Chain A
Amino acid sequence: MKFDTIIIGGGLAGLVSGISLQKAGQDVAIISTGQNALHFFSGSFESVEEPPQRMADLFSEAGIRLQYRPGVRLMPLGTFRPATLSLDDINLFPTPRFAKKAMIVNFTGYHDFFTDFLAEGLEKQGIPCRVQLLQLPELDVIRQSPSEMRSVQIARTMDRIWEKVVQEIRVRLDDEDTVILPQVFGLQDLSVPGRIRQGIPAQIVFVGTLPPSVPGIRTQMLLKRRYEILGGTYLMGDEALKAHIHDGVVHSIVTRNLDSHYLEADNFILATGGFFSKGLKSNPFRIYEPVFGLDVTFAEDRNTWYSPDFSADQPYMDYGVKTDASLHALQDGKPLKNLYVIGSILGGTHPEFGTAAGLAVRSAFAAVDQILS
């Protein structure tokens, strides 16, 4: 089967480039080994320096609204991180002193939202707060299986019963000017976060939970739908195994599901992510890129790959595939003319700083522009 461009990796970088190319009239295939890092997406982008109109347009055409408001966002453990751009239901504040008094709300039985850490973090900023647990009988069904009481399960119920949550919070609201809720709203019905904001006479702040990320899954769903409406082919659950390369040009790739049926294209984009997504793999001797065998930056001495201090900056997070200045992948020091590398596999992304989402989008646009030029 032949396409104009084949993208390996179906996460944020892959989908953004897929949508852009498909919209420009190309016939594109995305190959994705299972679901992607959007399922752990915080909902905000930290490394976008200027108002990114192109990105906002692409997202809005997929039904996702972004807001540009450089500042900080509240993290799940009560700390603050800088951010410039976010999904419109994720709050960005000018300073960490974003409230006078806050009420933190959770649901009985839900263990993936850390109210005590949040309260401690806010109190450090001089924001007094109290925690309220809502015992909603509508969640009893999910509570029967405590280990499965996860964000997505709750969000499915919340799409139906959000009005009741609004009522319960209004009754409990005292003199707090801010209400903090877990991000378990608006999985299918995108209007829910906005309606909750309208229904409660206080500033509403949605804060991240343990995975899966509800705003992330929603983003993935909407971007993928947009890509498919534009006519793009999405091969979910397939894996690129190896490539056929002649004279510095990639001709086709072999996938696990299509075996002897090679996928050909004029251009290829590698967006397979970092170690977590297996875009990069390691063994005791080296770090390597498994599909094309591209050049990877890493230190010779394995002992310097990581810091024994778990929470320290980890050197291996900087490792990535080598490219030339225009994102062409390098193999044995030579650029492959029609293979572009984008997203976290480039290295230098640090999940604790949230740099991955911004890099994904900007490198995707850079590759798309070269393919279309």
Chain B
Amino acid sequence: MKLQEYTISKHNFEECMKCTVCTAYCPVLQVNPMYPGPKQAGPDGERLRLKDPYFFNYALKYCMNCKRCEVACPSDVNVADLIQAARIRYDRSKPKLRDRILASTDFMGTLARPFAPVVNGVTRLGVTKSVMDATLKIDHRRSFPKYSSRSFESWLRRHAKEQAAFPEQVAYFHGCYVNYNNPGLGRDLVKVLNALGVGVQLLEKEKCCGIALITNGMSDKATRHATHNIDAIRKAVTDRGLTVVTTSSSCTLTIREEYPNLLGVDNADVRDSVLMATRYIFERLEKGATLRFRTDYHKKIAYHTPCHMERMGWGVFSEKLMRMIPGVEFIQLDSACCGIAGTYGFKKENYEASQAIGAPLFEQIRAVNPDIVACDCETCKWQIEMSTGYTVENPISILADAIES
């Protein structure tokens, strides 16, 4: 009925019963009084915005899009989607140069890769950090991710033939981080999947998932990336009959949830075929495949479930895989945000809030004193390593290290 189309809003906002539970779990609200909080910014504000866009509040930019409000909501309201959708729809401010730079992870990667040793050296210098702080408002206390001189894509292309020889195949959406910063994680995935008799292929061509473009006010560009990526994924899934695996929780959430819910890019035919590698591996093991673990592997591992992994509800696969490794003492860290939220924590105006949000997590990690912190998100890794000094590894890298080569 037509009437319903007009009266029922998106993102389930009419289900909100004003219970305030989300406000108790918003990490930003705890440290930044400028932020109106998920209830005000989400369903409460939406009622007003629907009447008149005048009520759009620019303080919505303080939302980190961590989705903790959605995980906490007992009524299934997509609070963070409401906030991000409002920013896309009503925010008319132009992204700053700084935000453009931070959001262009693939472009910056392409630019930096050929000069990786130089770039890595320069971004570590105090003077560079001071200049970036003064001119771009990128906080000088932040460490920058290092760039790798060889991309993961070029490595995998050189091994395409041996990969094609495996009886079963998957496609891998590696994301910018694996391609430009940490090809080692991609090679670890290849090692684990090969041990299960599965070869790894690239997508025809992948672009940055676009998560940083969405949060930095460049949703047009994000939509172009989304359309491109879904086409590429569709070719792999429908033409080549492959499952697409991933190692980054935020890329995965973006492709599966943000594309249709925020950007309006339909992924219904391929969504179920895009899986975190941890889930794919767990399911293969459950169906009878086996991994041979080293007997001399002994590690105390504390697992931090990234916010976006919590939203997808798939942390359990990473947990179960790590618990399978003999010699692992596994500790589940309390559910908490590390404070980085992608590009959010890099911005000068957010630095203090970012570190304050992560403080309880950092304290718990120090108290647990593990050999490794495990985490499926690259920006959490940067934040936790910078703030605690502990080494953070993706569960896939931990598996790769623990199996016999």
Spell out A's residues near B (CB within 8 Å). 1, 29, 33-36, 39-40, 141-142, 144-145, 147-148, 150, 152-153, 156, 210-212, 217, 225, 228, 233, 235-239, 255-261, 276-278
Contacts and interface: CB of A to CB of B under 8 A. Distances in A.
Given A35-B25, A233-B319, A144 B312 contact: no
B56 interface: no
A217 B24 contact: yes
Contact of B75 (A34, A142, A233): A34
Contact of A145 (B30, B37, B279, B334): B37
A237 B70 contact: yes
Given A237-B311, A257-B313, A34 B71 contact: yes
A259 B257 CA distance: 14
Contacts of B76: 33-34, 239
B220 to A, nearest CB: 30
Contacts of A36: 74
B24 A237 contact: no
Given A145-B36, A148-B37, A236-B310, A153 B272 contact: no
Of B20, B30, B72, B319, chain A has the most CB atoms within 10 Å of the CB of: B20
A144 B72 contact: no
Given A235-B313, A237-B310, A257-B312, A142 B24 contact: no
A231 B75 CA distance: 28
A94 to B, nearest CB: 34
A258 B256 CA distance: 13
16 contacts: A1-B282, A1-B316, A34-B74, A34-B75, A145-B35, A145-B37, A148-B33, A156-B30, A212-B24, A236-B71, A237-B310, A255-B313, A257-B314, A258-B313, A260-B272, A261-B279
Interface residues of B, number: 38
A217 B21 CA distance: 10
B318 to A, nearest CB: 12
Contact of A277 (B33, B35, B74, B279): B74
A155 to B, nearest CB: 10
Interface of chain A, helix or strand or loop or mixed?
A: loop
Contacts of A260: 272
Contact of A141 (B33, B72, B335): B33
A225 to B, nearest CB: 7
A39 B19 contact: yes
B168 interface: no
Contact of B21 (A39, A141, A156, A255): A39
B33 A142 contact: yes
B23 A35 contact: no
A237 B40 contact: no
Nearest to A260: B272
Given A1-B316, A153-B29, A236-B310, A35 B272 contact: no
B36 A153 contact: no
A141 B353 CA distance: 13
B73 interface: yes
Nearest to B314: A257
